[in-house]
Amino acid sequence: MSIIQNRGKYMDSLSEERIKNILDSADVNYSYALAKELEGIRSNPMLGYRSAGSAVEHEAGELIFNKMKEAGFVNVRKDRIDVDGWEFRRAVIRASAGVGEREIQLGAYQTTFVTDGFESVQIVDAGKGTLEDYEELEHLGISVKGKLVMAQINQREEWWINFPVYQAKLKGAKGFIAVQDGGYGEVAENALNAQDIAGPSDAPAFSISRADAKFIRECMKEAQEAHGRECTVLFDACTKVIKGASSYNILGEIPGENPDRMILLSGHYDSYFAGFQDDNTAVSMLIEIGRMLIKNGYKPHNTIVFCAMAAEEWGVENSKYDWSTGAYEEVFTVHPEWKGKVIADLNFELPAFAHGNKDYVRSTYEYRNFYRKILKEYPGDLQEAYPDGVGTKAPIQTWSDDFSIAISGIPSTVNEFAGGRFMESHYHSQYDSDEFYDEKVYLFHHKLYAYILLRLDALRVAPVDFTIVADELLHRFDKEICGDAKTAGSFIQAVTDLKAEALRVNAVIEERNSGEKPDMPGGRAENDILMENKLLEAFAYAQDKLVTLNWQDDVIFPYETAMNDVVFLGKAIDALSTQYGEKKPAAGIKNALKWIYRIDNNQYAFRFEKAVYEYFTDYVFNQPPERLKWGYGRIIHHENLYDIVWSLIDKLAKPGDNADATQELCILTEARTRQQAYLKEDVIKTAQSVNEITDILRSIQ
């Protein structure tokens, strides 16, 4: 069967030959050149940086605006968005050791610190920057007040940078300098790294390479002061957070027969360092995909909107959810009416690098089966750039703009980019450059996503499919942990009903998308429109009711928070309970602490003082939606076990093996009872939401 036959008759005017001509017209030389041109727009001449609301971000937006016009897009415009701006101009240390003097370039985080030229300042080696490290310094008689502290961090395996930075602030430090001890920037000893700070702007933070940190430690040893943990350097910095700034998302269109039905392509143009992969190549690719259509005279059925997003890396001060600000503002503030009109978003991230032997199209659950089908029908070679071909993944993650877009009610998709070694090695470092450019991969992504765009444009009805949602709802649910047979049974029945109705609706959608083209503008009958409205209504409702987050920003179902906490609390309780029978309280306490570490954000209780832990807990629950953006209300329930953690740790420190954890056992048991009640409540609410979705689907005939 030919590709055209397999697609049905709705797009019979788009021949296989024409599809091939469109795909083969991809000009990656154009895309590459534009990505390189964007590299030159930077606030720090040495390192790069093009951050939210800065003059250079505005300059890059102007370049993209002009490129869209040159490409032939129409209605090219700038959508103004409100952000907290950040501009990083420089951060330099001059230090001397026996091997000579060195001028050290530092990276920076989204905080404020401005000197009047080079100033003399002391740097203290604070280990990992934890409470224990500061207690050690105090024991040695070393104060960090008014000084810079340097500490090692591993943000992938231990804790995010905001915790040691704020701990340093509370200890009176002038600022914090992070050394990447694995996790990120592993590519080279001189690699710097940058991430979103997720904290207040008045707790200054910078980044230093492992090689330069080693030099600073040599300076400390030679200074022979403060037990070799301190030295004096010259420091010059200019990094500013500007609250209440503005930025611009840059948009252009290819008009379609259905002006109110749209397909969105997106990628962000702010960056850390030069940002060649992340995300210059993505913005360049989305423009070139538009050029491919225009060069071949393609007239879409739906208006295709191309959007270069600002403020993806960071855009709101002192929020756990401080990235993807530009996309969130675009779909929730500037264009809330897009919900129900945009049938899909194709978001691009780091598309010119192979992140493994196999590529993936990652989407919301509701579009995964559609992309599986498209990949089977792709007219090119799926192994062209990837030896193991291309697969699909779901759900959308919070790493990039597609999550903000999805929860607005727009089904979103992104080329998979978070796998492989690139994230640990090159990501958000000065090694994100064209040295690691893969033309074959880049060309493949141009072709694959242009084809996906053509297939989406051919649809009469959006392919919203709830079967995978239903499967995942059951797969992640454990009726034994739920502990209430009636509640569990009602939930399982609700999800079973949803899947049955989804299968029925899928057959209707398939019939409409493969049927004859009706005699209407754009080839869509009134029934198609009504059906799609219901499908997108159900999708948006599911995003509101079924998508929550844990403290690690993973996407989970509402009942999973309490279900996991019930399990972990139960394990901790069992560990403390067995200590009495086995008369090994120390072993029981150690085991209990391992499980408490996994409950909510209590891992941070082990390393930082209570004021730090509670600051970064409270700011999730006690800030308004405009500060929390896409994360508002997505974390539900929380067990504050800080006091329990330190009570048990103190008992371990006591001599002998007679520690009594009766009180802690009682508190943990109460917490488990509370979480068990939450779990029942969340399962009931989830079942109710599932029933609502099923009812919407039942209205589709």
Domain chopping of the chain, boundaries:
3-85+243-315+342-397+411-457, 87-242, 464-701
Distance CA 227, CA 126 (A): 12
Indicate the pLDDT class of residue 5, thresholds 50, 70 and 90: very low
Distance CA 248, CA 356 (A): 34
Tokens 């231990």, located at residue: 158
Beta strands, E only, 310-435: 342-347, 359-363, 390-393, 412-415
Indicate the pLDDT class of residue 96, thresholds 50, 70 and 90: confident
pTM for the structure as a whole? 0.95
- CATH class in words for 3-85+243-315+342-397+411-457: alpha beta
Determine contact, residues 576/660, Cβ cutoff 8 Å.
Answer: no
Determine contact, residues 301/259, Cβ cutoff 8 Å.
Answer: no
Name the least confident of 450-454, 520-524, 661-665: 520-524
Structure tokens at 106: 């530092």
In tens, the pLDDT along 141-164 reads 999 999 999 999 999 999 999 999
Indicate the pLDDT class of residue 579, thresholds 50, 70 and 90: low
Look up residue 204 and give its amino acid.
P
CA distances from 139 to 126, 383, 596 (A): 13, 60, 29
Structure tokens at 39: 């590299």
With pLDDT > 90 as the criterion, what percentage of the chain qualifies?
86
pLDDT, mean over the chain: 93
In tens, the pLDDT along 323-340 reads 999 999 999 999 999 999
294 closest CA partner among 345, 348, 347, 254: 254
Peptide bond into 558 cis (omega under 30): no
Tokens 């850390």, located at residue: 272
Residue 348 reports pLDDT greater than 90: yes
Structure tokens at 85: 């701006």
Highest mean pLDDT among 79-83, 217-221, 579-583: 79-83
Decide whether 3-85+243-315+342-397+411-457 matches 87-242 in CATH topology. Answer: no
Determine contact, residues 296/18, Cβ cutoff 8 Å.
Answer: yes
- CATH class in words for 87-242: alpha beta
In tens, the pLDDT along 659-690 reads 788 899 999 999 999 999 999 999 999 999 99
Mean pLDDT, rounded, for 565-580: 90
Task: Identify the H or E element spanning 444.
Answer: helix 439-457
Peptide bond into 395 cis (omega under 30): yes
Cα-Cα-Cα-Cα dihedral of 392, 396, 399, 400, to 10°? 90
Distance CA 61, CA 452 (A): 27
Structure tokens at 185: 């920037």
Q: What are phi and psi of 95, to 5 degrees?
A: -140, 155
Distance CA 198, CA 322 (A): 6
Distance CA 413, CA 359 (A): 14
- Sequential DSSP letters for 281-300: HHHHHHHHHHHHHHHTT---
Structure tokens at 112: 């404020």
Distance CA 514, CA 477 (A): 36
